Amino acid sequence: MRAAPEDLQAAVRALRAGELVAFPTETVYGLGADARNPAAVRRIFTVKGRPARHPVIVHLSDASQLAEWAREIPSAAQRLAEQFWPGPLTLVLPRSAGVDDSITGGQDTVALRVPAHPIAQQLLTAFGGGIAAPSANRYGRLSSTCAEHVREELGDAVKVVLDGGECPIGLESTIVAFSNGGVRLLRPGRITAGQIGALLGELVVGADESSPRVPGSTAAHYAPSTPLRIVPAGQIDARSETLSQGGRRVAVLAWRAPLSAHPAVTWINAGPRAQQYGHDLYAHLRLLDKAGCACILVQDVPDGEAWAAVRDRLRRAAAGAGAGASITEAP
């Protein structure tokens, strides 16, 4: 898959002019700006409606550019980069002098990633520099996994949208930070804690107080507008039936078919395979969000590492989506 030369040129021109360009990566679409242009980076925050002190990831065409952005590359980070770049992994490293506060949120670290998607690679290579890019969605909302969702979220504020169809992974990159000599997983993704631990022989999962801020780890993130609740796997049929009594419309995201069909229940069977489920997750939640239902019930997903990234996004979606609203049983 390649971008047409004229689209690529338009995208590079836009970046050089300080405009925003949305582009596909293997994880989700990014909303990109020239990482060396603070005014352009600030525009990302305006368009997303995102608080200015939240840091963004800088995307690079290859690891040889690391030294321009990070002043120190621990050997563990080096090994991860060699193993997993280009790919769905973000490394949080001590920033170089000259990396602007608009990128780092004023912190002493910078998040760096070399994406594998051919169109992202084309864009980065043609542009020649770092591209700052958070996910291409409004703040706190579901990430975009296709070009239509980018337009839906951000409209005309994005000068160019490079259309690469559906993102192959569909969930955001794994984020790993290095501090005090330790290695810490800040956000689970396709590259698992097990894979990282196997390579490095050490890994701490989860943020602590001294960890860099990750807005993705605030509760209200990756959320649809409809209240969303996670239901124990075995109770999903009974709960959806009870809640839909009286004709109230209920949306369900499950990994199997319903035991019996109910007219007021919109049921998506996302299947039992973690990677496929993750690939479809945001598109499914968008669809259910538009179904005009009182709530979205999500059948809790299986335990185990294969589901860690999905589980993480579902927990956040439940915390963010209508968290204050109560979903009462129908009388």
Binding site for ligand TXA (CB under 6 A): 25, 27-28, 30, 54-57, 90, 92, 104, 107, 109-111, 113, 115, 133-135, 172-173, 175, 212, 214-216
Shortest distance (Å) from residue 211 CB to ligand TXA? 7
CB of 260 to ligand TXA, least distance (A): 39
For residue 38, the 8-state DSSP code is H
Sheet holding 228-231, edge to edge: 228-231, 295-299, 250-254, 265-269
Residue 30 contact among Mg ion, ligand TXA, none, beta carbon within 5 to 8 Å by kind: ligand TXA
Which residue in 143, 141, 122, 146 sits closest to 133, CA to CA? 143
- Residues binding Mg ion: number (CB under 5 A): 1
Helix, strand, or coil here: 164? coil
Closest CB 101 distance from ligand TXA, rounded Å: 11
Show the binding pattern over residues 101-140: x = contacts Mg ion (CB under 5 A), - = does not: ----------------------------------x-----
Q: How far apart are CA 301 and CA 308, in angstroms?
A: 9
231 binds, among ligand TXA, Mg ion, none (CB under 5 to 8 A by kind): none
| Residue number, 135 or 145, with CB nearest to Mg ion | 135
Tell me the C-alpha distance between 301 and 77, whole Å.
31
- Is the dihedral angle over the CA atoms 54, 59, 63, 66 positive or is it negative? negative
CB of 133 to ligand TXA, least distance (A): 5
Burial class for 241, CB neighbours closer than 10 Å (0-12, 13-18, 19+): middle
Query: Which H helix or E strand runs over 149?
Result: helix 147-154
Q: Which residue lies nearer to ligand TXA by CB, 239 or 286?
A: 286
Q: Between 135 and 174, whose beta carbon lies closer to Mg ion?
A: 135
Q: Would you say 90 or 244 has its CB closer to Mg ion?
A: 90
User: Dihedrals φ, ψ of 23, to 5°?
Assistant: -145, 150
Q: How far is the CB of 70 from ligand TXA (least distance, A)?
A: 10
Name the residue whose CB lies closest to ligand TXA.
134
